[in-house]
Structure 1
Amino acid sequence: MHFKDVQATLIRSLTTLKGAISLITNPSNTTSVYELEDGLRYDKATQLSIEFITSQPEIKPLLTERYLVDDPDLDTLLNYPQNSLGYRYASYLKASGFDPHFYRDIKVEDDTSYLFLRRRQTHDIWHIVTGLGTDVASEVGLKAFELAQTRSPLSALLIAGALVRTLFESPEELGYLLDRIAVGYRMGFQAKPFLAQKWEEDWEKSIEQWREELNVQVPPAYTP
């Protein structure tokens, strides 16, 4: 192995380690998530995940097209019916004070970088359609959904990190966390591929219609 290869491997490893440590310290730090994902980009587990995603016939057209869109205008989306994806997405971002371009950009140069960017771009849409909230346990539940859909090593690491943190810092919340993980994984396994959807071309479609078409079963409330 050449020096440059060793150097690149070391940098990726340090980036991954930095992201992992930051997440354990502050699980709400999205920058750490991106650092962790970028560090895992060339790992075998990531490549196997990409192979799994690209093997799905429904996703291939978007891969070929490299389907991406500009950030939507939230005020325009608020003119859609209140049960539509567009309205729900815009009202959620407005209420939360989020920017539609919340995600870190990545240069699209292959299937891996495209899928990374598309997943980042549609993260909040996944929240809305699945009905999984944004508290820590529900965020981890969405990662379990994502794991079932993509076999992403990042998702697996985030789930593992959340379990470790909960065991040591708030063990009384373990039942709720485990419930959201189980619910999310089961939903992801049953649902049609979210990465195959051109959400932005059907903002006016109702959440109920999206869920019916994609076979999404909204999770029940947690009962201890």
Structure 2
Amino acid sequence: MMSDNPKVDDAFVEKFMRSVNTPLEYGVYFLFHDYWEKAPQSAIDAYVEELHKIPGIKDVLEEGYIAEPLSLDRLKQCAPGTLGAGYLKFIIDNNLEANLGKNYRAFNEELKASGKLDRLPDELSYMMVRGFQTHDFHHVLTGYEATIYGELALAAYYLAQLRQPYHAFRVAVTTAHTAFLAPGFITEGMDAFTDGWSFGRNSKNIYFERWEDEIDTPLEVLRERFNLTRHAIAA
């Protein structure tokens, strides 16, 4: 029976504060895994409900698409100005070549088999795994760089389009860390969040696309198609 007064589990509060105190050591990824065992069922249900409100989600979840790994050789064939060329540059500039070979199908199965995520609904699990796979494409499409500002802005962008727990946790941890430990970061942090949030609210949903199939498409064509064009994109 669902409680009328759900609360955050006390043991999880300790883990949350560990992440607030040391966000680079105990990041949101770990916190996300810790949440589900004692998460209020009402909150889990609400996150699932929010996901199912998004247009087009039914087909996405039924298909459960996870792309095969791309290779550097294939990306090097992409013409200048294409999504693939921009993606290749982003990967090389940020030393992310190892990400290309990651088997996300196996990663998804490992998460399920671990047992720690037994209460994580399948649709939320899939969205997290697919999101990891397309994250660097989203950097290229939005123009947000792999900086603290860029990552926070992209988290807020995701939250605007998906309203899912991983990104909500990112905002919660960062705002708590800023409020209690690093007030000098308030302006930069809030600028990143508000920029990403407004950008995500005003562009078309980019989370459901098979960007691996668009690597030969000019980047500006895609930005125009998804309303991702603007004069200045914050780094």
1:21 maps to which of 18, 33, 36: 18
> 2:207 is paired with a residue of what secondary structure?
helix
Deviations 1:97-124 (A, max 9, x none): 1122397922278212211111111111
Question: The residue matched to 2:27 in structure 1 has which SS?
Answer: helix
In the other structure, the counterpart of 2:223 is: 211
Query: Unaligned 5+ residue runs, structure 2?
Result: 2-8, 113-120
Task: Label 1:184 to 1:91 Cα distance change in 2 as closer, same or farther (>3 A).
Answer: same
Q: CA RMSD in A?
A: 3.0
Is the aligned partner of 1:120 residue 2:132? yes
Q: Give the Cα separation in 2 of the matches to 1:13 and 1:114.
A: 28
Q: Is the Cα contact below 8 Å between 1:143 and 1:155 reproduced in 2?
A: yes
Contact 1:183/1:219 (8 A) holds in 2? no
Partner of 1:105: 107
Query: Would you say the 8 A contact 1:167–1:174 is kept in 2?
Result: yes
Counterpart for residue 182 of structure 1: 194
SS in 1 for 2:91: helix
Aligned positions of 1:65-144 closer than 5 A:
65-98=63-96, 99-100=98-99, 101=102, 105-107=107-109, 110-144=122-156
- TM-score calculated relative to the size of structure 2: 0.76
3-state secondary structure, aligned to 2:189: helix
1:33-44 mapped onto 2 (5 Å cutoff) = 33-41=28-36, 43=39, 44=42
> Percentage identity across aligned positions?
27
Q: TM-score, normalised by structure 1?
A: 0.79
Matched AA of 1:105: F
Task: String of CA shifts for 1:166-224, please: whole Å, max 9, x gaps.
Answer: 345543332122111111001111122222211111111122111111112447366xx
* Deviates most, 58-67 or 161-170: 161-170
Q: Deviations over 1:16-68 (max 9, x none)?
A: 854662464143x5x73322222334744344233322332323222111111
Unaligned runs of 5+ in 1: 2-11
C-alpha contact (below 8 Å) 1:86/1:203 kept by paired residues: yes
| Equivalent residues of 2:155, 2:170 under 8 A apart | yes
Of stretches 44-53 and 149-158 in structure 1, the one that deviates more from structure 2 is: 44-53
Letter aligned with residue 33 of structure 2: D
| 1:14 shift after superposition | 5.4
CA shift for structure 1 position 154:
2.6
1:157 maps onto 2:169 in alignment:
yes
Q: Name the SS for the 2:107 alignment partner.
A: coil
Does the 8 Å contact 1:18/1:32 carry over to 2? no
